Chain A
Amino acid sequence: MSVSNPTDIAEVKERNRALIQEVLAVYPEKTAKRRAKHLNVHEEGKSDCGVKSNIKSIPGVMTIRGCAYAGSKGVVWGPIKDMIHISHGPVGCGQYSWASRRNYYVGTTGIDTFGTMQFTSDFQEKDIVFGGDKKLAKIIDEIQQLFPLNKGISVQSECPIGLIGDDIEAVSKAKSREYDGKTIVPVRCEGFRGVSQSLGHHIANDAIRDWVFDKSEGKAPAFEPSPYDVAIIGDYNIGGDAWSSRILLEEMGLRVIAQWSGDGTIAELEATPKAKLNVLHCYRSMNYISRHMEEKYGTPWVEYNFFGPSKIAESLRKIASYFDEKIQAGAEAVIAKYQPLMQAVIDKYKPRLAGKTVMLYVGGLRPRHVIGAYEDLGMNVVGTGYEFGHNDDYQRTAQHYVKDGTLIYDDVTGYEFEKFVETVKPDLVGSGIKEKYVFQKMGVPFRQMHSWDYSGPYHGYDGFAIFARDMDMAINSPVWKMAPTPWKDSGSDYLAIAAE
């Protein structure tokens, strides 16, 4: 059953609506009422997806969401490679998020780069009782002794910090003065703040504004400005995504002066206000700082989508439209250069994937941004939802991406997602590590769409070839045919066969 087939649309919508009612029936009344607002069947022409979002998760339902700390340390700050990010509080948060997000970088880890390390204040009971400020001060001293080449320090607050009344701002300021104005950034990203990772992104953005930009104003960048300077905002270089994006921007004649924050450095953050244009990939996690730079420095920003050749071409042209004819011609040249490669990829994989259906449930921009890449391969996304999206995400999704009848699920629960997939029976599910094995047990092909399932990059033209290969290997793997036990098949008469 495919939503792309217009004769079936009414039927699909009917089924999806019934499905939503079916899952709601399991909940206590109050919960059903609340969850009903997060589930919908998309109606073509509507300005958003008709769901409520960015609302507290309901206790006990098995939400897939994380927390503000995950949004700040795990997403925004963690990839800044030449700074040391202290997971401030008990040991767990830093441990579970240690190097698991695949933010690629190059550098001498432990000496001048620190991306795949776990620095923690490992709070003990006495730190909770007496406060952790003295310990934090000492930690900063010890970092300065043992890691003298670090270019800055951030303090990523875990839950207890805000509850015990620690003044990490005062400690950061005092230590910054002591170390000649060193960048030390206190971040109030305690996990209980907000409803998901999302507030953590916002808090992290604000911390850059207040503790990096304001401090570095007037500081000249190490390079001569050019009219073609841009900054990549909201690409975390997962599996090398930012590199396979950067190469295209450079090929069209732009100069990338900063990457936020995959493979990024403090120098790049500081130089960003000098950019002529901020190109924004993950709107959700970095629109805040983009808006700030627009207001304060007059830097325009433009959203782009580097998944799949259709969206890449559209985005390259859109970015080029902010520049002169040279860059516009550059964009056309880049599109033309990669066109044969893209055609070859599509010729190879589309026959194996056309008509296949996909259900997505991811974070950030991916629940909408990857839809075009699937469509380039002839596939249809029949359900999608955001872990921590806001209404502006659902607006973009409705206006530019999803088709009529698509099942929409915001902050989906484990139960709902399982039931949806059971009934809709997509050919592929794209979600996270917590979901992967649930669906694979059910015999449904799966790709992790946070970590690219340890593959990637998926961004850019080079990335699309990998994306296509990976979707093909997931869906067309021989393993799925082997899942049913043959002698449990009602038509199987193995005793008779054996007797022959």
Chain B
Amino acid sequence: MPQDPNQVKDHFTLFREPEYKELIANKRAKFEGRHDVAEVERVVEWAKTEEYKELNFSREALTVNPAKACQPLGAVFAAVGFEKTLPFVHGSQGCVAYYRSHFSRHFKEPTSCVSSSMTEDAAVFGGLNNMIDGLANTYSMYKPAMIAVSTTCMAEVIGDDLNAFIKTAKEKGSVPEEFDVPFAHTPAFVGSHVTGYDNAMKGILEHFWDGKAKTVPALVRQPNAKINFLGGFDGYTVGNLREVKRIFETMKVEYTILGDNSDVWDTPTDGEFRMYDGGTTLEDAANAVHARATISMQEYCTEKTLPFIANHGHETVAFNSPIGIEATDRFIMEVARLAGVEIPDSLARERGRLVDAIADSNAHIHGKKFAIYGDPDLCYGLAQFIMELGGEPIVVLSTNGGKAWAAKMQDLFDSSPFGAGCKAYPGKDLWHMRSLLFTEKPDFLIGNTYGKYLERDTGVPLIRLGFPIFDRHHKHRYPIWGYQGALNVLVTILDRIFEHMDATTDGIATTDYSFDIIR
């Protein structure tokens, strides 16, 4: 009997007990109808080859282990960044259960979001009644200040018209006429979660700036001294936005964070559940039209939003998740230029401390080869930083990156001697990455939680940076932007490198010599 009441064994140890090992082996041998072990071994080895890689890269239809999600996830991300805003996703209800679970698994926080719960009858007759009832229920139950509507693929396929539906719902009295219900069509079969962020953010700004679906006059821009800031879809949003705010305050920049979800995904445990917390006030969202300039931290998250803002007369600047010295320098100097402020000496000191840290540690990174995957902007920012550290980002893969992204990555590689031989892989998935890890043999892999399967299969150690991170806690609380953020990224990379060094030199009477106490 393997269980012990004084030292309870759970799945980590229970199934390694002889009784269970025998049970599992017996099941396999007698009932599972498995392939011969030798045949499995043969295919294991074949899947590591160049030949397999070629076959793998010749795929045209099948996607395996993609590193992207669908549009409405991004729409929910954008919506919860506004004051007392409840995201409302029009379409099937299961989708909403998935988005809420996905965010809660990453942030370890509640995520409130409702669905219009469309079923077969709505598929036939359209979802107008679901919108009418749904808005009324949401409004009376959860008392939001704003309901931000987006769509699942079901509503998109049957062609529901959000603008008309919301108008009708208001006429029917679901919510007051003047109640804010911005919307965005977010078909899951176009783009990815970053596209959904973009569409939803644009929908919200359009609502406030351009006359609330023709119900009030459009706002007339009267430029002021403020800078708008768009973080984009970002798994580090809690840490990053707080860091960016700190930087702005240090620089005495007047700013508006558009979509500030740093508080809603980081509420205290003190006895009270705060369904809404923080967020950009609706007043600030509207007044953001008057800003002198708008910064997007992630170009590929704002491909529609930023031109929309530029059309309102703002100077706009886009970054690609700036990480490290050069990218942060550019960010800080652009902020200073746009806001017309001096850069305080404290930031120069922060910068100097980061350079100091890099000087202390870069020898452990220099010359190491990295494979990176993730959202297009994050990939760019990480690759740039890796090259600053003397590392070589030989494989950079983005399932939701396109040709323009790949060209931009190539320009980045070409700008540094550490980029020689590096390659960007747009539109590829993690099964492609698996082949690349076998054939290109990088030293480390950088990616999200799903990378742990790649680490297991290929032996390439995983450095967890990206979204989602389900199997490590609280990473989202620490910034990756700003000099402080880059320091966190540096430490994350170094920790994994050092752990790997120790784990590969701990052989007793075999590798005693490299098992150093000082590194």
Contact B30–A457 (Cβ < 8 Å): no
Query: A108-B44, A124-B189 in contact; A60/B134 too (CB < 8 A)?
Result: yes
B498 at interface (Cβ–Cβ under 8 A)? no
Distance between Cα atoms of A76 and B253 in the complex (Å) = 55
Contact B157–A67 (Cβ < 8 Å): no
Please count how many residues in chain B sit with their CB below 8 Å of the partner chain's CB atoms. Answer: 110
Which stretch of B91-99, B217-225, B226-234 is in the interface?
A: B91-99
Please name the residue on chain A nearest to B100 by beta carbon: A434
* Min distance, Cβ B45 to any Cβ of chain A, angstroms: 10
B298 at interface (Cβ–Cβ under 8 A)? no
A-B contact pairs, 28 of them (CB 8 A): A26-B140, A27-B137, A28-B136, A59-B133, A60-B88, A67-B94, A82-B33, A90-B187, A93-B98, A112-B40, A119-B63, A121-B63, A128-B157, A151-B33, A163-B158, A164-B157, A222-B33, A223-B30, A223-B31, A246-B27, A344-B5, A436-B110, A441-B270, A442-B272, A462-B14, A465-B9, A466-B14, A484-B271
B469 at interface (Cβ–Cβ under 8 A)? no
Contacts of B97 in A (CB 8 A): 64-67, 70, 434
Contact B61–A138 (Cβ < 8 Å): yes
**The residue from A92, A97, A243, A469 contacting B72, defined by CB atoms under 8 A apart:** A92
Interface residues of A (CB under 8 A from B): 26-28, 30-31, 56-70, 82, 89-93, 95-100, 104, 106-112, 116-125, 127-128, 135-136, 138-139, 142-143, 145-146, 148-149, 151, 158-160, 162-164, 191-195, 197, 222-223, 239-240, 243-244, 246-247, 250, 256-259, 263, 265-268, 271, 337-338, 341, 344-345, 348, 413-415, 418, 432-443, 455-457, 461-462, 465-466, 468-469, 479, 483-485
Distance between Cα atoms of A84 and B152 in the complex (Å) = 25
Contacts of B114 in A (CB 8 A): 59-62
Contact A96–B56 (Cβ < 8 Å): no
* Min distance, Cβ A410 to any Cβ of chain B, angstroms: 15
**The residue from A57, A148, A437, A484 contacting B93, defined by CB atoms under 8 A apart:** A57
Contact B138–A60 (Cβ < 8 Å): yes
* Min distance, Cβ B174 to any Cβ of chain A, angstroms: 9
* Min distance, Cβ A260 to any Cβ of chain B, angstroms: 12
Contacts of B118 in A (CB 8 A): 59, 192
Query: A160-B153, A414-B112 in contact; A125/B189 too (CB < 8 A)?
Result: yes
Extra pairs beyond A65-B97, A111-B40 (18, CB < 8 Å): A59-B118, A59-B134, A66-B93, A67-B93, A70-B98, A110-B431, A151-B33, A223-B30, A414-B112, A434-B100, A435-B110, A437-B110, A441-B271, A455-B10, A462-B3, A469-B8, A483-B270, A484-B270
B214 at interface (Cβ–Cβ under 8 A)? no
Contacts of B100 in A (CB 8 A): 434
Contact A149–B35 (Cβ < 8 Å): yes
Distance between Cα atoms of A436 and B273 in the complex (Å) = 11
Task: Tell which of B60, B64, B131 has the most Cβ of chain A within 10 Å.
Answer: B64
* Min distance, Cβ B245 to any Cβ of chain A, angstroms: 23
Contacts of B158 in A (CB 8 A): 163
Contact A457–B14 (Cβ < 8 Å): yes
Distance between Cα atoms of A64 and B62 in the complex (Å) = 31
Contacts of B24 in A (CB 8 A): 106, 243
